[in-house]
Structure 1
Amino acid sequence: MNRKDEHVSLAKAFYKGKPNDFDSIRLIHSSLPELALKEVDLSTKLFDFNLSSPFYINAMTGGSEKTKEINRQLAIVARETDLLIATGSVSAALKDSSLIDSYSVMREEYPEGKILVNIGGGVSVDNAKRAVDLFETDGLQIHLNVPQELVMPEGDRDFRNWLSIIEEINQQMNVPVLVKEVGFGMTRETITALLSTGIQTIDVSGQGGTSFTQIENARRKKREFAYLDDWGQSTVISLLEANELTRNFQKVASGGIRNAYDIFKALCLGADAVGISGTILNSLLSHGTEKTIALVEQWKEELRILYTMTGSQTTADVTKHPLILTGYPKDWCEARMIDPTKYSMRNIKE
């Protein structure tokens, strides 16, 4: 079986919408939100793009006939719901032109949409430029996936100079650049290193959803790396880490987003936008395009209700809503010298 097809099959098999650190966030109720549902504005900004919703379809797949059809359907969902979308990693297509149409199908189905093209952390500047031109995309998404590559039987083994390559790409591209993890999360130290390259938009993409170490381990004969299934920091913890930095940058959250409530909690924790992969893919493969479109529209309506309940007229207002951290995220804060009361005491007025 094609490796990309294996990834899709295993991602669906392992998808459970399992408990994760978003369950450790408790939102504080306000009895007087002073807001009407019709006043709510879900829009947000990513780069200089004006997005009508605070979430989008994140990078997933491509590289085979099966995944071409998946990408076509994902693009239709994005088109019909006015969402930004990212291609899966196009590194394979840059090496084998016969795979190009499994990604370019997105632009064919969504000619007016905002699309990001995804490449790996070690891809050269020339190939980054080729990817943007080849797939006619509006931005570049660079993924960081060291644990996945190391567990992958045929994966990369040399990760030197990634930071300098990212800096060079960022300096030479004529479209905006986003750097993302693939579900292992980030810390202050990693984010600071990325900011030093000039990168201004970072997807902390934490553990809690699809586990690429679990997927790659399932492809190994001995399956000896099962203990890495939950490697890394969660999305919640990664946002808490990101918020400790005083430098201004765009925060994106992905990883373990199961529903509208998780989207809302990520926004409460400071995310400017939220990327979703596994839940969208599972819906598409299990229920089809139309029901996935309906699910996205349902999330929008649920978010309008959540915004109203918390007196948040705009996405920017959501980040001011108070919340309580419990469980492991609270323990992490203690261990990493993060003050959790800054979240619980928001908007306190005499």
Structure 2
Amino acid sequence: MSRAERKIDHIRHALSHSKSERSYFDDIDIVHQSLTAQNWEDLQLKTNVGELNLSSPLFVNAMTGGGGKKTEEINQSLAEAAKRTGIGMAVGSQMSAIKNKEERSTYEVVRKANPDGVIFANVGSEATLDQAKEAVDMIEANALQIHLNTLQELIMPEGDRDFRMRLKHIEAIVQGLHVPVIIKEVGYGVSKETANQLYDLGVRHIDVGGSGGTNFSKVENLRRNDPMISFENWGIPTPVSIVEVSKQVPDVHVIASGGIRNGLDGVKSLLLGADAFGMAGSLLKVMIEEGQEALVSKIEHIHREIKMAMMLLDIDHVKDFNGKPHVIRGDMKNWIDQR
């Protein structure tokens, strides 16, 4: 199977496989504040993630590209929706376009569709500094994501098995690139031990990419003749990972992703210490099944949910969610207590 065919295969399986009904976000209760003194029209969704200035804490997280005309159409529509709603967007791994120039248009379309938007480039941890620069230049990116997907690669029949150069590559890219570098997991979460390692390499932006959303173990198992079923529940839940990273390395800018279902889950992420949150599979599903207008409506609905929570917590800026009164219970409390 070619790399382009694999990209399409990933999209098809990601949209079709069932998500877990259990969410650790349900273990978080926000403490209601009755006496708001805010005006809806004055509420500010804009925020900063380090050097990145975002008009909203929500962005479209990395999904696709490199799968020929179909992924080009998907990326164009996602970018158009991001432009219309004023949110950022990350592309999927650009390694396919670095290795096959014919696939460049499937990523370049994002910048063409949204000339002034905030866009994140994306490469794997096997990428060299030169390849990282090529990915950034390809779409005139404002930042670069380096995705970590060890388990996905191990389950993937044609996946990588040698990660010995990973740390050296990450360190070289962080030191040599002129835009912020975001280390991103793809559904297995970032532990406090990993956060420490990344911090020592100079990393100051981490997308925890926890479990609870698209399960790439399941996606890759659907492509195997001998599925590795025992690893389908592997990973750190997103809200747990936010706490681990934000408490262990408070100087790091934390981005939440993985199983964020709505604006209130996003708010809970911000409350726990994240600076922004990304959504991918749930947005892609709306766009594929209902179209771009429905996706724009979905994003606007999420923005309304965020602003409602701001009113109910008596704050007028997104940054003020951090540390607001809340209660953690159940499995999430047990995990945090034991760690």
TM tier relative to shorter chain: over 0.9
Partner of 2:309: 306
- Which residue identity does 2:321 align to in structure 1? V
Q: Are residue 230 (structure 1) and residue 238 (structure 2) matched?
A: no
Distance 1:183 1:247 in 2: 22
Spell out the pairing of 1:1-350 with structure 2 (5 A cutoff). Answer: 2-16=5-19, 18-64=21-67, 65-223=69-227, 225-336=228-339
Distance 1:255 1:141 in 2: 15
C-alpha deviation, 1:34, in angstroms: 2.7
Distance 2:76 2:132 in 1: 23
- Which residue identity does 2:271 align to in structure 1? C
Partner of 1:345: none
C-alpha deviation, 1:245, in angstroms: 1.8
Distance 2:215 2:123 in 1: 19
C-alpha deviation, 1:38, in angstroms: 2.5
Query: Is 1:72–1:106's contact at 8 Å kept on the other side of the alignment?
Result: yes
- CA-to-partner distance for each residue in 1:296-320, whole Å, 9 max, x for gaps? 0111112111111011211111113
Query: Is 1:208–1:230's contact at 8 Å kept on the other side of the alignment?
Result: no
Secondary structure at the aligned position of 1:56 is classed as strand
- Which residue identity does 1:321 align to in structure 2? K
- CA-to-partner distance for each residue in 1:305-338, whole Å, 9 max, x for gaps? 11110112111111131111111111101211xx
Secondary structure at the aligned position of 1:111 is classed as coil
Distance 2:233 2:290 in 1: 28
- CA-to-partner distance for each residue in 1:225-282, whole Å, 9 max, x for gaps? 1221221101111011113225412110000011111111111111100011011111
Secondary structure at the aligned position of 2:254 is classed as strand
C-alpha deviation, 1:15, in angstroms: 4.8
Change (3 A) 1:247 1:236: closer
- Which residue identity does 1:129 align to in structure 2? K
Q: TM-score, normalised by structure 2?
A: 0.96
C-alpha deviation, 1:4, in angstroms: 0.5
Query: Is 1:188–1:242's contact at 8 Å kept on the other side of the alignment?
Result: yes
Partner of 1:346: none
Query: Is 1:185–1:233's contact at 8 Å kept on the other side of the alignment?
Result: yes
Secondary structure at the aligned position of 1:179 is classed as strand
Q: Which runs of 5+ in 2 are unaligned?
A: none
Query: Is 2:142–2:179's contact at 8 Å kept on the other side of the alignment?
Result: yes
- The percentage of aligned residue pairs carrying the same residue is 40
C-alpha deviation, 1:218, in angstroms: 0.6
Q: Which runs of 5+ in 1 are unaligned?
A: 337-350
Distance 2:249 2:157 in 1: 40
Distance 1:217 1:157 in 2: 17
C-alpha deviation, 1:16, in angstroms: 4.1
Secondary structure at the aligned position of 1:284 is classed as helix
Distance 2:47 2:222 in 1: 38
- Which residue identity does 2:114 align to in structure 1? Y
C-alpha deviation, 1:47, in angstroms: 3.2
Q: TM-score, normalised by structure 1?
A: 0.93
- Which residue identity does 1:174 align to in structure 2? H
- Which residue identity does 1:100 align to in structure 2? R
Secondary structure at the aligned position of 1:244 is classed as helix
Superposition CA RMSD, Å: 1.3
